[in-house]
A and B are shown apart, each in its own frame.
Chain A
């Protein structure tokens, strides 16, 4: 036996998996079942679940297939964090247990539950359809299979990482906004949308982008980075979300939606004062009617506490603002030049 293999079986102990159970056809509310099993170091959570299903309780339901972190089927929450059971070591989870030696296994969040650890992926698939998460080819059908479609390395690098997504839905489960509103597009769909919109072979960029900027779309992301932090493939999902926003501003202008107007306010204020003029931010984002309706009661409380942001004339520009403005403008010239070169 090799040294590595020796180390592999060195540790062995009893571990309890506390598994979320709910069969909506018979149970009125969810409960947890504890299964205490002997586990060797090196065993994954998925193998531990398989052991339980084969030897103790055949009624537990979960999805799994490849056992190698490729298919994305076995997404579940392990000690509260969404991840793949097949790439998660039982041993690594022991230090993260709230109760010593008890690993909590629960279904992904933000998706309807079917049974135990199985969630319904259909709403996610429906969103992928809604946002056309495929390349709709610019090539006429008659030419397909006859002609090559070349993609430059530079282009591929823009969405290389995004293509690593295996649709395990861990990011969907962790999303703060989806938790608040199930209509929200969701991080996985934004990632796919970014990837398709960056593809030169695709013909429906403008249509897809048009959908992405609507309500429950790209501007509703609250920048919490939970999706990116839990991505099992370490994909920088926020880069994709920001990428869609950058594209939306470039393609549709800065007056397009509340989200783009809000973003424009930052650019505009910084260029003028070096500081944000917060007092008028709600007006510039949503207009006067919205601001009065939504923020007036709070504004009164803030005035009483002398907490309101100063009106624009009283926002003191940063020290050295003249020089700063000149620098900002010089960079604007660089950006214009970049666009010219890019468009050539």
Chain B
């Protein structure tokens, strides 16, 4: 059983609870154990870094240092948390002064940021550590009847100088996972585009227009559902779907699954167990 420190994302603790619940169902089937890091705090959500770069460094040095104390990599299941914490890590690793400054504060808690734990997305762990062949072997209900639109979202791809796992112009990791689970992917030009989440409260019309494009292509291509590795993308594509499609004058709908739910379905768990019924679009 390979163990990881699991970062608790704010959104998965509040609106998209089905993500952590579904992972909990199947993690042991795939030989991994995600140890919940209850000490972790909000990463800053791609905002704290410009509000206060130093608090941003402190907060995320602390998040990573807790994982380091356990001797484990930090695993994340939200794209923006992934990008944000990796950005902080990159800054900390490049600056001995910044490291010294945050460590001076963290020592009161018996913590030290050393840079020894990697910060990884759950999708990467599934592909690189568990392995596609091992996953394939565990599939009990292949997704063979589904044509799936893999929506990667931005912050698992860009900036590639911080992420670097997939080719941001032509990502393939999620496609590979879909195929390992027995499903097939549609050609989906919006797979690496934006969902519009980060401006929902500031420029709603623009955000919904961005979302409608991604939804519209999946609908036009007659995908059975969209799958995303990011709960923020899910919140827009599922929660705001009706509003986005109405604005774009598209009269249809499409279910959106979390990566963790798609894996669970293929491993034999029911939609109800996985929390799919909690979605707005069924």
Judge: A and B partners, yes or no. yes
Using a CB–CB cutoff of 8 Å, the interface residues on chain A facing chain B are: 80-81, 96, 176-177, 179-181, 184, 219-226, 228-229, 236, 238, 242-243, 245-246, 249, 254, 258-259, 262-264, 266-267, 269-271, 274-276, 278-279, 281-282, 285-286, 294, 298, 301-302, 305-310, 315-316, 318-320, 323-324, 326-328, 330-332, 334-335, 338
Find chain A residues with CB under 8 A from B40 CB. Answer: 318
Q: Which residue of B lies closest to A219 (CB)?
A: B202
Residue of B52, B108, B160, B201 touching A327 (CB-CB under 8 A): B108
B side interface size, CB within 8 A: 65
Whether B10 lies near A285 (C-beta < 8 A) is no
Q: Which of B26-34, B54-62, B69-77, B130-138 contacts A (4 or more CB under 8 A)?
A: B54-62
Residue of B15, B38, B52, B205 touching A319 (CB-CB under 8 A): B38
A342 to B206 alpha-carbon distance, docked (Å): 38
Find chain A residues with CB under 8 A from B55 CB. Answer: 267, 270-271, 328, 331-332, 335
Residue of B13, B50, B105, B157 touching A330 (CB-CB under 8 A): B105
The 5 closest A-B pairs by CB, nearest first: A274-B41, A225-B158, A180-B209, A224-B194, A309-B14
Q: Which residue of B lies closest to A324 (CB)?
A: B41
Whether A281 lies near B42 (C-beta < 8 A) is no
Let me know if B249 is at the binding interface, CB within 8 A.
no
A-B CB contact pairs (8 Å), 22 listed: A179-B209, A179-B210, A179-B213, A181-B205, A219-B199, A223-B46, A223-B155, A229-B160, A229-B169, A258-B201, A266-B48, A270-B41, A270-B55, A276-B42, A285-B202, A294-B204, A305-B280, A308-B15, A319-B39, A328-B55, A331-B55, A335-B54
Which B residues between 191 and 212 are near A, CB-CB below 8 angstroms? Answer: 193-194, 196-199, 201-207, 209-210
Find chain B residues with CB under 8 A from A320 CB. Answer: 39, 109
Question: Which interface residue of A180, A258, A282, A302 has the most chain B CB atoms within 10 A?
Answer: A180
Q: Which residue of B lies closest to A215 (CB)?
A: B203
Shortest A72–chain B CB gap in Å is 21
Q: Which residue of A lies closest to B213 (CB)?
A: A179
Shortest A203–chain B CB gap in Å is 25
Find chain A residues with CB under 8 A from B277 CB. Answer: 305
Which B residues between 2 and 16 are near A, CB-CB below 8 angstroms? Answer: 10-11, 13-16
Residue of A226, A270, A324 touching B158 (CB-CB under 8 A): A226
In the complex, the number of residue pairs spanning A and B with C-beta atoms less than 8 Å apart equals 194
Shortest B258–chain A CB gap in Å is 13
Q: Which residue of B lies closest to A234 (CB)?
A: B161
Find chain B residues with CB under 8 A from A226 CB. Answer: 154, 158, 193-194
Whether A176 lies near B196 (C-beta < 8 A) is yes
Find chain A residues with CB under 8 A from B193 CB. Answer: 176, 224, 226
A298 to B158 alpha-carbon distance, docked (Å): 30
Known: A228-B158, A263-B50, A270-B44. A331 touches B196 (CB 8 A): no
Known: A229-B168, A282-B201. A335 touches B41 (CB 8 A): no
Q: Which residue of B lies closest to A278 (CB)?
A: B14
Find chain B residues with CB under 8 A from A222 CB. Answer: 194, 196-199, 203, 206-207, 210
Shortest A44–chain B CB gap in Å is 19
Known: A224-B194, A266-B48, A276-B10. A318 touches B41 (CB 8 A): yes
Find chain B residues with CB under 8 A from A262 CB. Answer: 47, 201-202
Find chain B residues with CB under 8 A from A307 CB. Answer: 15-16, 239, 278, 280
Find chain A residues with CB under 8 A from B105 CB. Answer: 327, 330-331, 334
Q: Which residue of B lies closest to A243 (CB)?
A: B50
A228 to B168 alpha-carbon distance, docked (Å): 12
Shortest A303–chain B CB gap in Å is 11
Q: Which residue of A lies closest to B163 (CB)?
A: A225
Whether A246 lies near B50 (C-beta < 8 A) is yes
Whether B170 lies near A266 (C-beta < 8 A) is no
Shortest A175–chain B CB gap in Å is 10
Residue of B16, B42, B203 touching A274 (CB-CB under 8 A): B42
